Amino acid sequence: MSLDQNLFTLLLTPSPEHGQVDLVDPEGRIHYRKRRAVGAPLYQTEIYDPLSESLLATATAPSASSKIKFLQLQNPAKTVELKYTGTLSFRWSFQWEEHDFEWKREECYLLRKPDPPVLVAVTKEPPGRLKTTSVQILDYNLRRFDVEDRKGLEIVILTALMTFQDANEASHLPDISPPKRGSSKDNNPVSPTAGPAPSPPPKPPKKTGIDRIAELQAVRGQFNEVTVEDEGSIQDYAQYCTNLFQDDMLFVTISSAGSEHVPKVLQVVEETKRMRHKAGIQEDLHQYVLYDTQPKKPRRINLNDLNEHSYAPPESLVVHLSKIPMPELQPQAKTPGPPPPIPDTRPIPETKESKKEQKKREEAKRKEQKKATVSTPLTPDRLTRPSRSSPPHNSQFQPTPSPSQLNNPGIYVAPPPRPHSAYEPTPSSTNLVSSLRGMLHRPRSGS
């Protein structure tokens, strides 16, 4: 990372003495001196003041590549724990006063959750190598926070940086094997009275219980996921899951390593909830179950198999225990398909006849009715008026007179003559009219 030339910069200059590095400003003045204890059984690095040769800080660990190192400051005495907190990336953390700091590849940050971190130190390294050549302490950012001992914080940041460089050198050192006799590189012959080779350090004891469960999950790179296998008891797995929830984990995933571990996963889940209940934790856990999530192998069909519908346990099981609801893991109800079509048992209706056929049939009916009326004519009555449907007659219509008209011939008024018609009156009709007139004008009898 490029540095600002206007800021205070320290250059890391190796000294001719083995294991010594001077921190020099661009003008050549030495501000700090680092010395590493050579030949000591444990890793130890010391930071001195070059003018007074007084010890400022000491970093100790079982080895240079240890994940936890202790920084001991002098005048006043204070111990700071430097811990590796990364998984796949370079990340070391430590605490100073009330603030948390984190070293990354080339930068040191002051953490202030939930706000973004603040950069407090920057280094410059060659590309592809973890070998610091210069470092800058950003005082203008440190002044923004309430840090009482800024000098002590500066010494801690520089001491941690020196331990990173020692760990990088230790990882790149070649294996040192004892020289062979008669080798040209060894001018001094091996004394026959030399003592026996020192015995290797004893192996650390094998972890058991919850520590062993945590080690197995760390090897897989899992932190909120627990894979249940043969090694480890149900109580140890359940206690490990309970500790994860106490470390502000929102959810924990418990899965089986194989089909034979499926029942054990269920027992671990129940034991985890039981432990939380015994500890007085009233917060309920949401449980989401997934099974047979691994891709299945191609199935071999056995034609002689008669128990096709027999129950088979799941091959894999994954249980998510969560403090918050997770809708994406909730089971979705299967929508029922459309019902099967109902067969229509009704009789098929006759086909309707077309309009042309209906017209033809109606016309045929009308013709038949006309023929029937023509073939049977009605005989007209003398006192009735012929109908319009009947054919015209050659007789003139005369209504029947009422009794008053018969007794009072003067009142009787003959009906108006009919309009001229196309047909002439017949003699029979004339005789009928004259006879009626004679009856009306007949004088009354003396009785």
Average confidence (pLDDT) over 60-80: 91
Contact status, residue 322 vs residue 250, Cβ threshold 8 Å: yes
pLDDT digits (tens, 9 = 90+) for 180-219: 444 444 445 444 444 566 666 676 677 788 888 888 887 7
Name residues whose C-beta falls within 8 Å of residue 66's C-beta, 6 or more positions apart in sequence: 43
Put the strands of the sheet holding 286-291 in their side by side order: 225-228, 251-256, 317-322, 286-291
Residue 358: what are its φ and ψ, rounded to 5°?
-60, -40
Q: pLDDT value at position 79?
A: 92
Question: 99-103 and 92-96: which strand pairing?
Answer: antiparallel
pLDDT at 129: 57
115: CB partners within 8 A, 6+ apart: none
Region 156-167: mean pLDDT is 90
Global pTM value: 0.42
Q: With beta carbons less than 8 A apart as the criterion, state whether 324 and 245 touch.
A: no
In this predicted model, what pLDDT tens digit does every residue of 310-344 receive, in sequence order?
A: 667 788 888 888 888 888 887 776 666 677 777 76
* The residue count for the chain: 447
Report residue 57: phi and psi, to 5°: -155, 155
**How far is 370 from 380, CA to CA, in rounded Å?**
19
Mean of pLDDT over the chain: 76
Question: 177: pLDDT confidence band, cut at 50, 70 and 90?
Answer: very low
Q: pLDDT tens digit string along 348-380? A: 655 555 677 888 888 888 888 887 776 555 555
Rounded Cα–Cα distance for residues 68 and 83 (Å):
5
The alpha-helical segments, DSSP class H, found in 71-112 are none
Highest mean pLDDT among 149-153, 424-428, 434-438, 441-445: 149-153
pLDDT tens digits for 384-420? Answer: 455 554 455 444 555 566 655 555 555 555 566 665 5
Structural domains in the chain, CATH included, are: 9-170 (2.40.160.200), 210-294+314-329 (3.30.110.20)
Amino acid in the structure at residue 367:
K
Residue 256: strand pairing partners: 228
